[in-house]
Chains A and B, each alone.
Chain A
Amino acid sequence: MRPEHFARQQASGCRAAARFRHVGGFLCILAWLANSVSCLGQTETVTPVEIALKYSEAQEPIGLAPVASSLPTTQPFTKEPPGGPSKVRGRFDFHGADIPDLPWLWAGQEKKLYLDLNRNGDLTDDTNGVFVSSERTPSYAVLKSVPLPLHSEFGHYSCLVDIHLYNFRQVQCTMWLRSFYEGRVTLGGTEWQVGVVETHSPEGRQLLLRPWSRRGQPFSLHSGSRETLPLLHSLFFQGQLYDLTCQEQFDSQARSLRLALTPKTVPLGEVHVSGAHLGRLTFRGGQVIAVIDRPGQSFRMPTGSYSRLGVVLEAEDSRAYANVNSAAADIRVEASQATTLDVGGPLTNLVVVSRDATHLQLNYTLEGRGGETYTLIGPRKSPEFRILREGKQVAAGQFEFG
C-alpha cells in the first residue's frame, strides 16, 4: 500500500472516533482501540512489489564473470585427453564464493578447452565439457557460450560465459558474463526491465533497471549508461523509496531470483539542477541508491548525504555520462532547504593546452556545466583540433585515444 493511502485512512479513522465521543467514554475508548487495531493491521499489510526474475542470456558480454582468477597448474589431472606437448592446465578460482575450483585443460594445437564439469579429476568423461576456439592461433583462444557450473546452498545452477585464454609468456584468462536474471515490473505507470547480474565482484550483485522498451538493446556493467547499478539495501525510484531483498528459488531444478521492493516512508528534500539534457541521475550514499529519471530542473529525493553522483545526459541520438565522486564534500539533501547541483548540459568541447619543455601538449575534454568531465556513450569518432594565429588556421589535427 502506498504511504499516502495509509495516511488518508488513518485520518478518516480519527474523524470517526470524534463523531462517537458523545455516546460515552467507554464507546470512545472502544472506537479508538478498534481504530488503532485497524491502523496497525494496515501497517502490517504494506505489501512489497515482488518481481520474479528468470534466467536470461544476452547476445553481448555484460561484464566480468564470477571467476576471480585462473590458477595455472603443472600437476597432471587423474585422466587427461590427448593434447600433445602444448597442453596447458589450470583451475578456475571462485573467490568469495563457497564453490570448489574448476579444473580445465587447454590443448592449443587442437584449439580445444576441456572442463572438468563434475570436478572428479577426469577430463575425459565430461561430454558437455569440450569447447572449440574460433581463433586460428594456438596461443589465444575465444570460447563462446560456456556454461560454468556453480552451486549455492539451495542447489546447482550455471552461468553462461565467454572465455578468453591467452598463452603469451604465461597463461591468463578473462571471462565475460553473458547470463543474468530478468523480469518485468510496472512502476509509476511505466513498464521497466528489472534484472540482476551476479558478478561476485567486490561491488556484488548489480541491478539492471531500464525501460522495458529498451529490453532488446545490449547493456554492459562498464558502459557508464547507469542502466545497471549496485544492488544495495534501499532504492529510491519513481518517487518512492524501497527496501530491496533478493532471494534465490529453485523450481524443478531451474533457478530463479525473487526481487522484493518494499515501500518505505522517509522524509524528502528538494534538489535543483541547473543543467540541461538530464537523462538519469544516480545518487549513492551508504546503502541507499537514488535513481532519478528525466528529472527536469527540480525533483525530490530522500534526505541524507550522498558521496557519488552519476549523470547521464541524453539528446537526440547522443548520450554521455559523468561520474562525480565528491569524497571531500558530500552532496547533502535536506528537508528544510533546497540543494542546488550545477551539473548537466550543454556540453562543451575543450582543448587543454600545457607546455612540456619544447613540446606543447594538447588534451581533449568534454566538459559539463559545472566543470564535470563527460564521456560519450557508444561508438564515436576521434575529436579534432584547430590552431589559429591572428584568426588564420595554422594547423589542424586529430586527437588520439589514450
Chain B
Amino acid sequence: MAFIAVADIGGLGAREGPAILYPWRPPSILPSVLPWVAMLVLLAAPANRKRKALWLLLPLALLLLVVSWLPNAVQNDADELVDVVRPMAFGIAAIWSLSFLWVWKHRLLALVGSFLASAGMSVLVLVLDQSQSTMGLEVWMKALTVAVWALLLSASLVVAGIICRRQYRPGRVVASLMASCVALHVAAAIPFVLAAVIGQPGGIPGSAVLAIVLVPALASVGMLLPFLLLSFGNELYRERLQGMLRLAREPLPPMLKPDAAAAK
C-alpha cells in the first residue's frame, strides 16, 4: 500500500508528498480468537457438555458487542475503563462456566473459586489485547485493576447471596447484587478518595468522587446483568446461580392431605 501526505505549504514545497510504500499484512487473528478458544475449553468440561451450557456464549457476545460500541459513546477519560471491561466480560463468563465446582459449597470457597476463575481469565484476555507499545508498567497496572475488580465482583455475588437470605427471587437477586456492588465499590474506593483529598490541598470535586465510585459499580452491575438474565431463563445456569449464592429453590405450593381432598 502507498501512503501520501497532502498539505498546502504554499511556495515552500509541493502540496502532495511522495508515496510512502508500506507492506501491509493483515494482523494475526490469534489474539482475538484465543479468548474464545479458552471459553470453549471451559465449556468442554464434563459438567458443561450440555446444549444448555452453550447459551453462556450469548450474553458474552452481547456484552462484547456493547463494549465495542462504548469507545464511541463515552468520553476520552473513560478509555482505560473500556480497556478493562472486555477482559472482565470474559472473566464473568468464566465464573458462570466453572461455578459447578463450588455450588452448594462454603461461601468462602465460592468467593475464592469465583475470584480465581474471573481474575485468571480476565488477565489472560487483557494481555492478549495489549499491543507491543503498551507492554510494561501500564499492563501491570491494568492487570492489577482487573484483579481487584474481579475480587469485588466475586465478593458482590457472595454478599448478594447473604442479603437474599436463602430465598431465590429474580428481582431480589438483582436488587441485592446492585446493593452489594455499590457498597463494596464504595468501601474499596474510600482509601483512594482519602489519598486524593489529602494530596489535593484544594480538595476534589464531589462529581469526581462519584465518578470514581459509581462508574465502576454501575459497570459491574451492567456486566453481571446479562449473565443473571441467562440464569433466570436457563435451567442449568439457574441451578448453578442458586448453588453459588446458596439460595433455596422456590418453595413448592402446599400439598393438600388425601383426607381433606376426599371430604370435599
Nearest B residue to A357 via CB reads: B131
Contact (Cβ within 8 A) B20 A347: no
Enumerate B124-175 residues with CB–CB distance to A below 8 Å.
130-133
Complex-state Cα separation, A383 to B14, whole angstroms: 13
Nearest A residue to B3 via CB reads: A351
Residues on B with C-beta less than 8 A from A348 are 13-14, 17-18
Enumerate A312-330 residues with CB–CB distance to B below 8 Å.
313, 315-318, 320
Q: Which of B99-107, B178-186, B197-205, B225-233 contacts A (4 or more CB under 8 A)?
A: B197-205
Nearest A residue to B8 via CB reads: A381
Determine if A384 is an interface residue (Cβ-Cβ < 8 Å). yes
| Option from A277, A350, A358 in Cβ contact (under 8 Å) with B11 | A277
Contact (Cβ within 8 A) A384 B12: no
Contact (Cβ within 8 A) B10 A351: no
Complex-state Cα separation, A320 to B17, whole angstroms: 17
Determine if A353 is an interface residue (Cβ-Cβ < 8 Å). yes
**Minimum distance in angstroms from B227 CB to a CB of chain A:** 28
**Minimum distance in angstroms from B77 CB to a CB of chain A:** 15
Complex-state Cα separation, A82 to B16, whole angstroms: 62
Count of chain B residues with a beta carbon within 8 Å of a chain A beta carbon: 34
Chain A 324-352 against B: per-residue CB contact (8 Å), 1 yes, 0 no? 00000000000000000000011111111
Contact (Cβ within 8 A) B133 A347: no
Contact (Cβ within 8 A) B2 A346: no
Determine if A385 is an interface residue (Cβ-Cβ < 8 Å). yes
| Option from A170, A353, A359 in Cβ contact (under 8 Å) with B3 | A353
How many chain A residues sit at the interface, stated as a range, is 35 or more
Determine if A173 is an interface residue (Cβ-Cβ < 8 Å). no
Complex-state Cα separation, A359 to B26, whole angstroms: 10
Contact (Cβ within 8 A) B7 A384: yes
**Minimum distance in angstroms from B48 CB to a CB of chain A:** 31
Residues on A with C-beta less than 8 A from B74 are none
Contact (Cβ within 8 A) A362 B200: no
Determine if A11 is an interface residue (Cβ-Cβ < 8 Å). no
> Majority SS of interface residues in chain A?
strand
Complex-state Cα separation, A277 to B1, whole angstroms: 33
Enumerate A250-282 residues with CB–CB distance to B below 8 Å.
277
Contact (Cβ within 8 A) A316 B5: no
| Option from B5, B31, B133, B203 in Cβ contact (under 8 Å) with A349 | B5
Contact (Cβ within 8 A) B201 A170: yes
Contact (Cβ within 8 A) B3 A362: yes
| Option from B8, B13, B202, B203 in Cβ contact (under 8 Å) with A346 | B13
Complex-state Cα separation, A347 to B16, whole angstroms: 11
Complex-state Cα separation, A199 to B37, whole angstroms: 63
* A170 and B202 contact, Cβ closer than 8 Å, known pairs A346-B13, A350-B18, A388-B19: yes
- Which of A171, A358, A389 has its CB near the most chain B CB atoms (within 10 A)? A358
Nearest B residue to A74 via CB reads: B201
| Option from A317, A350, A376, A380 in Cβ contact (under 8 Å) with B5 | A350
> Majority SS of interface residues in chain B?
loop
Determine if B27 is an interface residue (Cβ-Cβ < 8 Å). yes
Complex-state Cα separation, A72 to B20, whole angstroms: 53
**Minimum distance in angstroms from A396 CB to a CB of chain B:** 9
Enumerate A346-402 residues with CB–CB distance to B below 8 Å.
346-353, 356-360, 362, 364-366, 374, 376, 380-381, 383-389, 394, 399
Complex-state Cα separation, A356 to B6, whole angstroms: 23
Complex-state Cα separation, A304 to B18, whole angstroms: 38
Complex-state Cα separation, A399 to B7, whole angstroms: 10
Chain A 132-167 against B: per-residue CB contact (8 Å), 1 yes, 0 no? 000000000000000000000000000000000000
| Option from A347, A352, A399 in Cβ contact (under 8 Å) with B13 | A347
Complex-state Cα separation, A350 to B201, whole angstroms: 47
Residues on A with C-beta less than 8 A from B205 are 169
Contact (Cβ within 8 A) A316 B11: yes
Residues on A with C-beta less than 8 A from B8 are 380-381
Residues on B with C-beta less than 8 A from A170 are 200-202
Complex-state Cα separation, A374 to B17, whole angstroms: 14
* A318 and B202 contact, Cβ closer than 8 Å, known pairs A349-B17, A385-B4, A389-B1: no
Determine if B24 is an interface residue (Cβ-Cβ < 8 Å). yes
Contact (Cβ within 8 A) B9 A320: yes
Contact (Cβ within 8 A) B6 A315: no
| Option from A171, A349, A353 in Cβ contact (under 8 Å) with B22 | A353
Determine if B15 is an interface residue (Cβ-Cβ < 8 Å). yes
Residues on A with C-beta less than 8 A from B202 are 169-171
Contact (Cβ within 8 A) A317 B10: yes
- Which of B4, B27, B200 has its CB near the most chain A CB atoms (within 10 A)? B4
Residues on A with C-beta less than 8 A from B11 are 277, 315-318
Residues on A with C-beta less than 8 A from B200 are 169-170
Chain A 78-101 against B: per-residue CB contact (8 Å), 1 yes, 0 no? 000000000000000000000000
| Option from A316, A351, A358, A389 in Cβ contact (under 8 Å) with B20 | A351
Nearest A residue to B25 via CB reads: A355
Residues on A with C-beta less than 8 A from B131 are 356-359
**Minimum distance in angstroms from A245 CB to a CB of chain B:** 38
Contact (Cβ within 8 A) A315 B4: no
Nearest A residue to B205 via CB reads: A169
Residues on A with C-beta less than 8 A from B133 are 356-357
Contact (Cβ within 8 A) B1 A349: no
Chosen A-B contacts, 13 in total, with CB atoms closer than 8 Å, are: A170-B201, A316-B11, A349-B5, A351-B17, A351-B20, A352-B20, A383-B6, A386-B3, A386-B6, A388-B2, A388-B19, A389-B1, A389-B2
Q: Which residues of B contact A (CB under 8 A)?
A: 1-20, 22, 24, 27, 31, 130-133, 200-205
**12 new A-B pairs (CB below 8 Å) besides A170-B201, A316-B11, A387-B1?**
A169-B200, A169-B203, A170-B202, A313-B12, A349-B6, A349-B14, A349-B17, A365-B5, A374-B12, A385-B5, A386-B6, A389-B2
